[in-house]
Structures are given as structure tokens and as C-alpha cells.
Structure 1
Amino acid sequence: MSTPSLERDRTTTEPRGNGRWINHWTPEDPDFWNRTGKRVAWRNLWLSVLAEHLGFNVWTLMSIVVVSLDDVGYSFTVGQTFWLLILPNLVGAALRIPYTFAIPRFGGRGWTTTSASLLLIPCAMLAGAVTFDGTPYWFFLLTAAAMGVGGGNFSSSMTNISFFFPERRKGLALGINAAGGNIGVAVSQLLVPFAIHLGTGVNLSYAALMWMPVIIVSAACSWSFMNSLTVAKPDNTSYRKAVTSKHTPVMALLYIGSFGSFIGFSFAFPSLIGIVFSEFSGFTGVAFVGALIGSVARPFGGWLSDRLGGARITFWNFVGLALGTLGALLGVRAENFAVFFTSFVLLFVLTGIGNGSTYRMIPLIFKVETSERVRRTGEDEDLAQKAAKRQSGAVVGIVGSIGAFGGVVINLVFKFSLQANGTLVPALLAILVFFLACVLTTWWFYVRSRFAIERFPNLAHAHI
């Protein structure tokens, strides 16, 4: 017979509606974590990775399809093409905030199942758009907008997983979760071109149909094997504090520089190769390399941040991004495709590392700030840190949403630069200036020793 203490330590699951909710979750307790927490957390992580991965597969579909629309009789201008790239970014970014708040409302299990199932809608729309002759441009725009539901998955997935893991494991876990999603860009860019050329001619409908069975399997697995945590229930005070925290806009700016750049470059890279270096248009088939390397680099950024500090890694990462942009600029000016391609691959690597390091900073900023407040005020440490976790979870969603809007801005900059000047030079100059601004912002708020000592006296131990 179990003792009361063991009952308190056991992970208990109680039904709520049609869901399966875990009411006791203390991953910071080593005994709890090693006995039951680790197994449950990693199971939920891998299922979250699958659903989020499919979200990115669908989110980026249009960026691959547009390259082949000419082959099936659709001749869109540069401006029209870029709007097909911008709309998924725009809708995906806008959905990230409500997707974040869906986790406390519906639970990780329920919302992961729902968000995965929604991916069937844009797939069906794309299959119809490219199957019937004479599909109007407005329907392609509507289809591109519907693909934005895949972009929303990221925030809900990251918010959900952030509650499952202890602080010492969170950087790696969030890095794996994010990388599993991000790599969906590369997988689509690699597999979709092969799929659409199966058989004779170009079969663009295969780009959508190939994902639909996997989406159904993912939704079924999420419903059958995932859990929801009551610790992630809504806390209006904590969420209001998250929205009004001065760290939220700062971290959002930095995430625009990392993830916004990653997703913006990922959507545009195949088209940029074909437009700017048309004689190398055959290389659009290897554009997946950039997104692949950037995705793999993301957990490395989280791992480095766990050991060296997220702020330090983020600072030097933006220095590298500025240098990589300078290399791409030189490649365009010299009409040297090798320099341009290599520089963009470097940019993908660094945006991946920056994605991991910036996200790692968020929970630690709130953890350390809360610890210092508790030390001054004497409030209950456990309750304060639970509220801090909810705050950081909300900030993850807000920052993820605003960061995704960076992809919209980058594609708009590319669009206007190519339309107005016929070259990428003005766009790359603007991006270079922005990266330099991110370098200064990171240094000013999180690297300066004076600020670190006064604002976060435990900074050296917390590795913000």
C-alpha cells in the first residue's frame, strides 16, 4: 500500500472532459524526475516534435511550389510571387499568440491534436488549386494564407514543452523541439521537388497529398499518447506581467533577428537563387541545405547557452550574422554565386544557433528576476517561481509571434529591393544595419557587466 508521501510524489493522471491531465508535476525534484517525470516529458517532446515538424512542412509548401508554377502554366510576376511567400509568414506570425494561449485553455494534448488536424485544410486547398486549370490568383493567395496555420504550431508546441522539463534540461529540450520543427523547412525543400516530378510531367498536387496521411497519424498519436499539465493553467496576473515586462519587447527584437531571419531566408532562398542568379537556377534544388543546417544548429545553440550563457552566445552570433550578410552583399556585387551561396549557408547556421540561444534566455531572465524579488520581499519562492514559469511561457509565445513577423519584413524588403532596383544590394544593406542594431541591443541589455551585476547579481551562476 502506498504511503501518503509517495502518493504526493506520484504523477497522477485524472480525466478532464475527454482529456488526460497530469495534476502533479515537479520536474525540479530529482527523485520525481528520474522515477516518472523524464519518461513522460520525453514522450510528449517527441510527439510534439512530429506535430510541429509537419506544421513547418505545410507552412513552407508555397515557397517550393511557386518555383514550379511556370511549368504548369501559371506566370506570376515577381511581386505576385513574393506575396505568395509573404502571406504564410504573415498569418503564421499572427496565429502564434492565440496558439500560445490555447495551451493553458485546452491542454497540450488537446491543442496539439487540433493544430495538427488543421494542417489538412491548406493541403486540400493546394491540391485543388494546382489540379484544376485556370485557378485564379486570389485562390492561390487564400491557399498561401491557410498555410499559415502551420506557423502557429511552433508557439503552442514550445510553450507546452517548456512546462515539462526542469531548468537544467530546458535549453536542450526546447532546442530539440524547435529544431524538429525548423527542419521541416529543409525536409519539404528536399522531398517535395522529388515528389512533384514522380511519373511524367510536373504533378504539383503531390506536394500537398504526400503530407496528408502523416498528418492524420500525427493527430491520432497526439490524442492517444500525449498529456496536459494543470500547472500550465491560465494565470491572468502572470500573463499580464509577461505582456508588460520590459524584457518582452527586447527579446522579441532579438528573436526577429534570429528566427525572423531564419524563416524569411528559408522562404525566399529558392526564389532568390532563380531571380538573382538565373544562370544557376538549377541550384534551387539544393536550397534545402541552408534550412537543414540552420535547423540542426538550433539545439547546439541551446546546448552552448546552457554552458556559456545565452546572452554571450547571442551577442557573438549577431556579430557573425552581420559578417555573413556582408559576405552575401559582396557576392551580389561581384556576381559571384559561390560567395553568395556560401554566405547564405553561414547565415542559416548562425540564425539556427541564435534561435536556440535567445529562447534559452527567456525562462532564465524571469527565473533570476523572480529570485531577486523574492529575496527582497520575502514572498513564497515556490509560488513566485510557478508564476515566473507561466510568465516565461507567455513570453515564449509573444516573442515567437513577433519574431515570425520578421520573416514577413525580410521578404517585403527583398520584394521592394528587387522591384525598385533590380538588385538585392539595398535589401542586404538594410539587413546588415539591423543585425548591427541587434548586436548593440544584446550588449546593452544583457552583456554589460555593470547591468549584469546590478540587475542580475546571480548572472554568473544562471548563465543568462
Structure 2
Amino acid sequence: MTSLDTSGKVIQGWDPETPENWDKKIAWQTLIITTAILFLAFATWYLVSAIAPMLNRIGFHFSKGQLYWIASISGLSGGLFRLIFMFLPPIVGTRKLVSISSFLFVIPMLGWFMAVQDTSTPFWWFMVLSFIGGIGGGVFSGFMPSTGYFFPKRMAGTALGIQAGIGNFGVSFIQLVAPMIMGVSLLGLGAFAPQKTSEGLVWVHSVAAVLIPWAIVLGIVGWIMLKDVPIKANFRQQIDIFGNKNTWILTIIYLMTFGAFSGFAAQLALLINNTFGVDSPFKDEYINLPRGAAYAFLGPLISALVRAAWGPLCDKFGGAIWTFISGVGMTVFTAIAALFLKPSDPNEFNWFLAAMLIMFFFTGIGNAGTFKQMPMILPRRQAGGVIGWTSAIAAFGPFIVGVLLSAMAPTTFFWGCVVFFAFATALTWIYYARPGAPFPG
């Protein structure tokens, strides 16, 4: 075997399963830099979920259906971009993949910065911006298998759990800080006029502007600090994952866990506003109704923290049992949330919110569990492709949730989710979690 040589941009002799051919420092350095950029990627992807609920308040005149579409189209593009990025790690290499992606995030950030300042900006242009922003979601399917190349299987659950968990935290971060950033004029942006609402002045454009310097700096850091490992696979070699039935089963399961996380995270603010809040039937009878933007960050925050924390537990006990527990919890608490979607009193919002937050808790467990399962069940080369594929399909979550909520009553949609979650949970038990399962992981 070739001895380890880390002096160049392409590491020679790299094999994480052989201690003398693995460099722990390089592995963790790669994890840290890639995770920081992935955090920014998710913040970029979910910019639309923070901005869309504000548009009509600052002078735009979009219907509820149009707002759902604006918030959901990034899910469509995020999934499509993931179908591209899943093939890139062994072809492009970690260094170029991660650093160039960071520079690309600047494009949608600048677009949002300009668009919200002009109330004549048409609906179609917001759809374009939302679509372009999906690149932030797309990089996940490249970043995760790329980082997986740097760690031995015994540490895969912890490493990928940390990266995905902290990366997912970018969703709740942007939803949490957006209202605060929108409330002030940032230093250096005084030349840009604020927008007016019934409550006063806001600077909606600031939330996009504040991310731009970070994208540029992190891109430079990645270009200088990251290295590539010599794992190569052409397109034909990579598509052999589709002949493995585990690819399809794990896709259904991850669509349950991450699809629910990404979909509900993108649409929860609008759902709260339309069912219990300022755009609900209660708006003419009650004051101080809940505003979705004040609560939307909580679910993604809980899920991201749980996903990061559960990695070591998945390494210790295996991912399958945690994925199964996650599916049971998601099924039960989505059903409970559905019971409060035809409220007779806005105070029923508290019960709905509690059920949704617990559901998000279980998505975090499931996301950690599935990502532990994949490297354990599949060969190393296929594991990267399956991680990319499953994450690509699950990234359609915001699009699926948004489109279905615009096409049917929320109650109908939630009960449909309950049925799907129960089905995916049954698959987890039959193939992976039960005693004597054919593919324990």
C-alpha cells in the first residue's frame, strides 16, 4: 500500500480504515470547514422562508397560494441541484466542490437584497430567486459523501451527524435572526431605504446582505485549507447504486425524516399565519395573534441540535433502531398536530405548536439514524452515492409540502403524512431494525 503523503492538495495513500494511512487532523479540519460552509448553505436555502412571510407586509400583493409557491420552489431546485451534486465528490474533489459552492451562494443573496427593495418586482422573479437559492440545499448531497471519505466507518455516525446537525442549524439560525436583522439598518447600508409596515420601518434586504461577506471569506478559506482524497468513480460506476434495493428503501425512509424536516421548516411560518395568525379567519376578531416568523425557527433548531447530539448514540447502538423510534414518534405527533388544524379558538395554537416541535425532535433522531445506517449497510463507494441520492430526493420536501398545502386543506395533508410516515416506519422495522433483520445497521 502507498504510504501516506499529505503534502500536496491531493492526498496520496489515504485509507481511513488503516490508522497509519489516516490523518485525524486533516479529517477534522475538513469537517470543520465543510460544516461551516454547509451551515451557510442551509441559511441561503431558507432565506426565502424568512423573507416570504414579510413580502405583503412591505407593500407586495401576493395571494396565499403565491406565497406558498415562492417558499416551496427552492425545495424543487434544492432537490434538482442535489441530483447533480451527488455525482461531483469523486469527480471534482472536496476542495473545489466546497469552496466554489460558497462563492455561488453570493448570487441568490444579492438577488434577494435587490428584489425586496422594489415593490414592483414581479412574482416570477421571486420564483427565480427562490429557485437559485436552492443551490444552498443542493450542496448537501455533495458535501456529506465528500466528508465521509475522510473518516473511518466507526466514526461515520458522529462525523456526519455533527456536519448535518450543525449544517441544518443554518435553517433555524436564519429564521431566528432574520426578524432581528430586519429591524435595524446595518452599518454600511444606510444608503438603502427601509421598507414600511403598519408597525414601522424594517430593513428586509439586510438579512441577505449580512451573509455575503461570510460566503466570500469561507470560500477563500476552503480553497486554501482543504485537500482532496484519491477516490474516483465515473458516472457509470456511480449509477450502479440503483441496482441495490437498499437505495430505494432508504430513499423512502429519508424522505420521511429529512423530507419532513425540510418541508415543514420551510412552510411552518406561513402555515401558522394562515391557520392561527395574522392571515387566519381569526384576524378580524382577535388581537395579538401569533406570527409565524416568531416560532418557525424553533422546530429546525430542535431537530438540528438533536441530529448533532445523536451521532454518538447511533455509533454505539446502531442507526436502525433510532430511525425506527423516530418514525413512531413522527407518526404519532403529526397525527396529534392534525387534530388542531381546524381551530375554533386561536389558543389551540399552543397545542399545535407543541406537537410540531416534538415531531421535529424525532426528525433529528431519524436524520442521525439514517446517516449512520448508510455507511454500515453499503460498500464505501456506493454509500457516498446513496447518501447523495437519498438526500436529493428528501430535499424536495419544501416543494412537496408547499405545493400540497396550496392544493388541499392542511388537515388532509397532515393525515396523508401520517399514513406515509407509518409506511416508512414499517419498512425500517422489517428491513433494518427488527431482530434478525436482513440488513442490520
* TM-score, length basis structure 2: 0.90
Which residue is equivalent to 1:27? 16
Please list, as runs of the form range in 1=range in 2, the aligned pairs for 1:175-254 lying within 5 A after superposition.
Answer: 175-199=161-185, 201-230=201-230, 232-235=231-234, 238-254=237-253
Higher helix share: 1
The one of the two structures with greater contact order (alpha-carbon pairs below 8 A, sep at least 6) is 2
Which is further off, 281-290 or 352-361? 281-290
- For the 8 Å contact 1:93–1:402, the answer to whether it is kept is yes
Is 2:329 aligned against 1:320?
yes
CA-to-partner distance for each residue in 1:101-135, whole Å, 9 max, x for gaps?
12111110011111111101111111111123411
The code of the aligned residue for 1:338 comes to: N
Which residue is equivalent to 1:267? 266
Name the CA distance, whole Å, in 2 between partners of 1:289 and 1:133.
Answer: 30
Give the count of matched residue pairs.
Answer: 414
Give the CA deviation at 1:302.
2.6
Is 2:4 aligned against 1:10?
yes
Query: 1:442/1:172 Cα in 2 relative to 1: closer, same or farther (>3 Å)?
Result: same
- For the 8 Å contact 1:238–1:390, the answer to whether it is kept is no
Please list, as runs of the form range in 1=range in 2, the aligned pairs for 1:64-79 lying within 5 A after superposition.
Answer: 64-79=50-65
The code of the aligned residue for 2:150 comes to: F
- For the 8 Å contact 2:99–2:220, the answer to whether it is kept is yes
Which residue is equivalent to 1:406? 397
Name the CA distance, whole Å, in 2 between partners of 1:97 and 1:236.
Answer: 12
Give the one of 288, 292, 300 matched to 2:301. 292
Please list, as runs of the form range in 1=range in 2, the aligned pairs for 1:36-435 lying within 5 A after superposition.
Answer: 37-199=23-185, 201-230=201-230, 232-235=231-234, 238-278=237-277, 280-282=289-291, 284-335=293-344, 336-366=348-378, 388-418=379-409, 424-435=410-421
Q: Which runs of 5+ in 2 are unaligned?
A: 186-193, 195-200, 279-288
Name the CA distance, whole Å, in 2 between partners of 1:283 and 1:234.
Answer: 45
Which is further off, 248-257 or 63-72? 63-72
Name the CA distance, whole Å, in 2 between partners of 1:175 and 1:112.
Answer: 18
- For the 8 Å contact 1:109–1:222, the answer to whether it is kept is yes
CA-to-partner distance for each residue in 1:356-386, whole Å, 9 max, x for gaps?
10111111111xxxxxxxxxxxxxxxxxxxx
Name the CA distance, whole Å, in 2 between partners of 1:183 and 1:87.
Answer: 21
Give the CA deviation at 1:208.
1.0
The code of the aligned residue for 2:16 comes to: P
RMSD between aligned alpha carbons? 1.7
Name the CA distance, whole Å, in 1 between partners of 2:235 and 2:273.
Answer: 49
The code of the aligned residue for 1:10 comes to: L
Name the CA distance, whole Å, in 1 between partners of 2:174 and 2:238.
Answer: 35
Q: Which runs of 5+ in 1 are unaligned?
A: 15-19, 367-387, 419-423
The code of the aligned residue for 1:344 comes to: M
Name the CA distance, whole Å, in 1 between partners of 2:401 and 2:312.
Answer: 28
Which is further off, 352-361 or 276-285? 276-285
Give the CA deviation at 1:65.
0.5
Which residue is equivalent to 1:436? 422
- For the 8 Å contact 2:74–2:398, the answer to whether it is kept is no
Give the CA deviation at 1:10.
3.0
Name the CA distance, whole Å, in 1 between partners of 2:205 and 2:351.
Answer: 35
The code of the aligned residue for 1:269 comes to: L
Name the CA distance, whole Å, in 1 between partners of 2:36 and 2:397.
Answer: 25
The code of the aligned residue for 1:309 comes to: G
The code of the aligned residue for 1:342 comes to: A
CA-to-partner distance for each residue in 1:214-248, whole Å, 9 max, x for gaps?
00011000001011111x21155642321221111
Query: 1:133/1:82 Cα in 2 relative to 1: closer, same or farther (>3 Å)?
Result: closer
CA-to-partner distance for each residue in 1:109-163, whole Å, 9 max, x for gaps?
0111111111011111111111234111111111111101101111111011010
Matched residue of 2:16: which SS?
coil
Give the CA deviation at 1:330.
2.1
- For the 8 Å contact 2:270–2:292, the answer to whether it is kept is no
Matched residue of 1:402: which SS?
helix
Which is further off, 296-305 or 263-272? 296-305
Query: 1:281/1:75 Cα in 2 relative to 1: closer, same or farther (>3 Å)?
Result: farther
Name the CA distance, whole Å, in 1 between partners of 2:415 and 2:94.
Answer: 42
- For the 8 Å contact 1:27–1:165, the answer to whether it is kept is yes
The code of the aligned residue for 2:266 comes to: F
Tell me the percent identity: 31
Give the CA deviation at 1:258.
0.4
The code of the aligned residue for 2:116 comes to: V
- For the 8 Å contact 1:71–1:202, the answer to whether it is kept is no
Matched residue of 1:131: which SS?
coil
Name the CA distance, whole Å, in 2 between partners of 1:123 and 1:363.
Answer: 34
Give the CA deviation at 1:281.
2.8
- For the 8 Å contact 1:310–1:357, the answer to whether it is kept is yes
